[in-house]
């Protein structure tokens, strides 16, 4: 059962100005990915990725295609080097990188789709009326109950990202999230940290964005996945194109079941997780879920070459 490999891909929050520059410089296959992104979008996304400013990169409509581009550029440099996944998964936006890795979506279609996804998510809720916060130390069920109780009085607030034991992100109306900040201790939270985001992602307030995204996904050529993809919405492997399309729409307003996805992969025999993309956020989460698995972060030329060099 064991000795299976999962490729995992980060989502929003992992971005940094200059990410992927060394890969662009070093590998022609990676350079092609950045060039394809610029061409597909009709502007120099690569310039924002490499040079910023950070305020531009931080805009959701730029962040999403930027992170996808860096992940796929690293993935292309990895291809044909003897490392292949048995499963793939991505955190929120990272699911699109996973779908490219699984052959279900072309990179050009993916980059255009996530650009639109970012715009729709930014536009779904008027600025300042939605919010998100990270809740540390609370049990999932207790926090879900608290959110349900607060939603009735303070305004909608829901579980958005189940990241790892003791780290859950809530999302919803600014007033609802503020109520969780004030009353989080009722659910056993040690701390509640408001997040700097442009909207209440992965909450029911995102349904207008999901409806618009459904129209874009109708135009995208989605194929059956050659490698099973763990869907954020269900934490179950999917391969059928019709399921992938439907789940990508639901994903916008549903919680990201990251902890459940990682546990499912381990249950399926995965003992090595390879995080491909900017930063090492997922590596940290995976280690908090299960210390016994191997986690490799590939986020630079150096880490990529090190991962491929046999030990000893």
* pLDDT tens track for 180-235: 999 999 999 999 999 988 799 999 999 999 999 999 999 999 999 999 999 999 99
Mean pLDDT of the chain: 96
Q: How confident is the model at residue 2 (pLDDT cuts 50, 70, 90)?
A: low
With a cut of 60, say whether residue 73 has pLDDT above it. Answer: yes
pTM of the model: 0.97
Residue-range domains of the chain with CATH: 4-124+205-308 (3.40.366.10), 130-197 (3.30.70.250)
Task: Select the more confidently predicted residue: 11 or 80.
Answer: 11
CB 12 within 8 A of CB 92: yes
Secondary structure class of 19 (helix, strand, coil): coil
With a cut of 90, say whether residue 45 has pLDDT above it. Answer: yes
The token pair that represents 210 in the structure block: 């999901």
Residues recognised as catalytic = 92, 202
Q: How confident is the model at residue 312 (pLDDT cuts 50, 70, 90)?
A: low
Whole-number pLDDT of residue 213:
98
How far is Cα 229 from Cα 238, in angstroms, rounded to an integer?
5
Strand-pair category, 130-136 with 167-173: antiparallel
Whole-number pLDDT of residue 311:
61
Task: Tell me what the mean pLDDT of segment 163-178 comes to.
Answer: 98
Cβ neighbours for 68, distance < 8 A, ≥ 6 positions apart: 93, 96, 97, 100, 107, 110, 111, 114
Q: Give CA separation, 201 vs 115, 147, 284, in Å.
A: 15, 16, 22
pLDDT digits (tens, 9 = 90+) for 242-291: 999 999 999 999 999 999 999 999 999 999 999 999 999 999 999 999 99
With a cut of 90, say whether residue 127 has pLDDT above it. Answer: no
CB 40 within 8 A of CB 68: no
């Amino acid at each position: 059962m064991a000795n299976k490999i999962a490729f995992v891909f980060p989502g929003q929050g992992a971005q940094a100005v200059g990410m992927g520059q060394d890969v662009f410089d070093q590998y022609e296959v990676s350079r092609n990915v950045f060039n394809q992104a610029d061409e597909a979008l009709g502007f120099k996304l690569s310039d924002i990725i490499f040079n910023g400013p950070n305020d531009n990169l931080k805009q959701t409509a730029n962040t999403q295609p930027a992170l996808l581009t860096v992940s796929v550029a690293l993935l292309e440099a990895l291809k044909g080097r003897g490392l292949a996944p048995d499963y793939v998964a991505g955190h929120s936006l990272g699911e699109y990188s996973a779908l490219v890795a699984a052959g279900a979506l072309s990179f050009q279609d993916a980059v255009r789709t996530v650009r639109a996804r970012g715009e729709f998510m930014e536009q779904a809720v008027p600025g300042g009326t939605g919010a998100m916060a990270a809740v540390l130390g609370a049990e999932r069920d207790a926090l879900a109950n608290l959110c349900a109780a607060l939603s009735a009085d303070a305004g909608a607030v829901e579980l958005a990202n189940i990241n790892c034991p003791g780290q859950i992100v809530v999302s919803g109306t600014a007033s609802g999230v503020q109520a969780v900040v004030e009353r989080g201790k009722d659910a056993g939270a040690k701390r509640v940290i408001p997040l700097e985001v442009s909207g209440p992602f992965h909450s029911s307030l995102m349904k207008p964005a999901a409806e618009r995204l459904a129209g874009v996904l109708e135009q995208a050529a989605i194929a059956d996945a050659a490698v099973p993809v763990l869907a954020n919405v269900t934490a179950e492997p999917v391969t059928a194109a019709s399921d992938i399309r439907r789940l990508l729409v639901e994903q916008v307003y549903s919680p990201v079941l990251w902890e459940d996805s990682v546990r499912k992969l381990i249950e399926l025999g995965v003992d090595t997780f390879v995080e491909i993309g900017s930063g090492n956020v997922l590596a940290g989460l995976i280690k908090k879920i299960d210390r016994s698995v191997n986690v490799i972060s590939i986020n630079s030329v150096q880490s990529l070459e090190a991962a491929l060099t046999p030990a000893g």
